[in-house]
Amino acid sequence: MNYVVGIDGGGTKTTAVILDNGGHVVGVGHGGPSTYGVVPDQVTRDSIAGAVSAACKAGGLPGMQANARAPAGKPAVLFSAAFLGLGNVVSDLDRDAVRGIAADLGLAPLEKISVDHDCRIALAGGLSGRPGIVQIAGTGTSCYGRSAAGESWRAGGWGPLIDDEGSGYWLGIQAMRAVAQDYDGRGEPTLLTGLLSARLRLRDINELMNRLYAAGMVRSEIAALTPLVFEAAGQGDAVARRLIHTGCAAMADCVLVVARRLGMDQGPVELAVVGGMTKAGDALLDPLAGEVRARLTGCRILLAELPPAFGAGILALQCIGHSLEEPVLSAMRQAALRQNVPE
């Protein structure tokens, strides 16, 4: 039996999924952070190795133990193919560096190791390997599309300093900005003022400056304010509703340019939406769908069918010439639910 491995490497967690050549899930494992260029290369290596080892253990495979018994400098080849999707991998230099790490770990023969950015595996999982577009809506935002001919394009994803409109971090910043303007009298009154004060336990709204600048709120803490915007919007707050629609419009603009670049704007196209912000449900999806369909009337919008790590596994199977039929994909979806694999 031949096995492949798909790896989803992010800023907090690395997930490895082992599949047999029929697409059946053998094991799933998790490791630490592995976003390329954000954590040291050794941390990336250790996180990938940890996730693969855990997946091998879950599937009853020898895994990395085989490498421990291999001669120095000659790691055992563990899988027929490997596909790694890591954050921040955007150039050939990045891909070559990560391929080198994977080869050193003996994940697969060098010619069967493929590396790309996390948007690629998000699309493969989101649409179960079909061509189309994926919109990532999480702490950050990014849009990526791939055609049946293999052409691809990405829009957005330039990071929080110059981009990421509509993301959780962006919404958190906009919420605090609206609160400051409400307090000053420069902006509209908003329920966000009370909600944010309660969440951050501010005795006075002026303490917000101390929390932001002296204590130093990190990106994840700011993004964690996003549910307050949806809560306020659900209570009819005009400011919160406007922020959500503005963010959705920005994401829809990215979807449109990707569709145009790939010639997908003249007919039916599928768009998978993935990321932590999807937990808001219809409060996000309805305005996003409205903005997208105002630009692409033939767009079918759906939540991701499979997590990105499973998308990486599908791409690894494609590296050895295997494609999956719907019954197998359906079984994969059930396995992903049982394993509680993060989106």
Contact (CB, 8 A) for 48 and 14: yes
**Residue 63 above 80 pLDDT?**
no
* N-terminal to C-terminal alpha carbon distance within the chain: 28
By CB neighbour count within 10 A (0-12 exposed, 13-18 middle, 19+ buried), where does 226 fall?
buried
- Give the pLDDT mean for 26-39: 91
pLDDT number for residue 194: 98
Q: Give residue limits of the domains in the chain.
A: 3-128+305-339, 130-304
One fold for 3-128+305-339 and 130-304: yes
Lowest mean pLDDT among 28-42, 66-80, 119-133: 66-80
pTM summary value: 0.89
At 288, the amino acid letter reads L
Q: Give the residue carrying structure tokens 């394009």.
A: 153
Contact predicate 76/67, CB 8 Å: yes
Contacting residues for 92 by C-beta, under 8 A, at least 6 apart: none
In terms of Cα–Cα distance, which of 77, 150, 81, 83 is closest to 114?
83
pLDDT per position as a tens digit, 164-221: 999 999 999 999 999 999 999 999 999 999 999 999 999 999 999 999 999 999 988 9
Given this model, what pLDDT does residue 334 score?
Answer: 86
pLDDT of 281 higher than 60? yes
Structural fold of domain 3-128+305-339: Nucleotidyltransferase; domain 5 (3.30.420)
For domain 130-304, give the CATH superfamily: ATPase, nucleotide binding domain (3.30.420.40)
CB-based contacts of 328, cutoff 8 Å, min separation 6? 22, 23, 24
Q: What is the residue-wise DSSP string for 64-120?
A: HHHHHHSPTT-PPP--SEEEEEETT--SHHHHHHHHHHHHHTT-S-GGGEEEEEHHH
pLDDT at 73 over 60: no
Q: pLDDT for 127-169, tens place per residue? A: 999 999 999 999 889 999 999 999 999 999 888 899 999 999 9
